[in-house]
Amino acid sequence: MRHFIVVVVLIAVVTAGIGFLLGPENILPTLASEEGAYVDQLFSMYAFVIAFFFALIVVIMLYSAVVFRRKKGDDEPGANVHGNSALEIVWTVIPLGIVLFFAGVGAVFLGDVMEAEADEMVVKVTAAQWAWRFDYPEYGVSSSELILPKDRQVLFEFESPDVIHSFWVPEFRLKQDIVPGITTSLRLKPTLAGNYTVRCAELCGLNHDYMLAPVTVMESADFDSWVTAQSVLDILLPEERGMRLAELNGCVACHTADGSSSVGPTWLGLFGSEDLLADGSTIIVDEAYLLKSILDPNSQIVEGFLADLMPKVYEDTFSQAEIEDLIAYIRSLGN
């Protein structure tokens, strides 16, 4: 009986200690969404179950090894045990109960997490190799950064033109795959103003690990000012509109504007320069070359770069005027 009490106390102490150490407040980043609170609750419950089974096994094993070790001079063989039906029933029924319990709690939480609120704001997210674009249909605004008002539920609708990506802001906890051909969605209500990062959580090609975008959660008055500021873009110069298009459509994921190397040629000093093509010929970079490269990227690959990396969709996704703005921007970075 004394052994039993000591073991129970040890198991309780080890469970509490490890369960606390594994808690979300110790190993996850700051929580910044209402839905994420459910994840953290489940996470702590799992942590305690994990800690309990760890303690149950390790405490009993170590206690037996130390307290019941063989005495000096005792050469008798140990007792022969042939199984214990009661024990087997117990260690089947208890885990079954635990799994069913978590299934129930998970189903209830999932229902709460997916529930829509009346004033939710729709944000359409386009994830493409290797950039994020955020459209706010309610306001007619687009952005390469995710700007959200605090305390208002957002319905994200995700689309991808190429491969599978995954939307993940660790502080919001929930994660959603973005699958070509279908629209997936996720509801989140940011609860803490601050700066975060959305990262792609699905291996999606060469620049997957750079597929990041800034996330800012702000007070709703600041959000309104941001929306207003975005709406004055019509009066920008062509090259300024071009720069914005390049950011929004992910061109900058492969083409830098500062001369550093990336998947595609840098735009700094590109216009007017002489380029050696992969087929051995040389060309002068002018409007006609840029236009051809945007619409039919494989037609004139520059020596040292790979074909088939640049999407061949821009003839359909850009208007004539947008392509002119883009070329004006690239020209402005030239010699």
State the nearest-atom distance from the C-beta of 129 to ligand CUA, in Å.
7
Binding mask 87-126 for ligand CUA (x = CB under 6 A): ----------------------------------------
Which of residues 204 and 285 has its CB atom nearest to ligand CUA in the complex? 204
Applying CB under 6 A, which part among 202-210, 213-221, 256-264, 265-273 lies near ligand CUA? 202-210
Integer Cα distance of 327 and 245 in angstroms: 11
The answer to whether the CB of 130 falls within 8 A of the CB of 250 is yes
Rg (CA), the chain: 29
Task: For residue 298, give both structure tokens.
Answer: 């494989």
Which of residues 253 and 270 has its CB atom nearest to ligand CUA in the complex? 253
Q: Strand, helix or coil at 73?
A: coil
Residues in a beta bridge with 131: 128
Out of 208, 268, 311, 318, the only residue in the binding site for ligand CUA (CB under 6 A) is 208
Q: Strand, helix or coil at 189?
A: coil
Judged by CB under 6 A, does residue 204 bind ligand CUA? yes
Which of residues 165 and 187 has its CB atom nearest to ligand CUA in the complex? 165
Residues in a beta bridge with 283: 275
Residues 131-170 that bind ligand CUA (CB under 6 A): 165
For 271, 327, 328, the CA distances from 286, given in Å and listed in that order, are: 6, 9, 11
Judged by CB under 6 A, does residue 211 bind ligand CUA? yes
State the nearest-atom distance from the C-beta of 226 to ligand CUA, in Å.
25
State the nearest-atom distance from the C-beta of 143 to ligand CUA, in Å.
18
User: What backbone torsions phi and psi does residue 176 show, to the nearest 5 degrees?
Assistant: -140, 130
The answer to whether the CB of 195 falls within 8 A of the CB of 216 is yes
Give residues in contact with ligand CUA (CB under 6 A).
Answer: 127, 130, 165, 200, 202-204, 208, 211
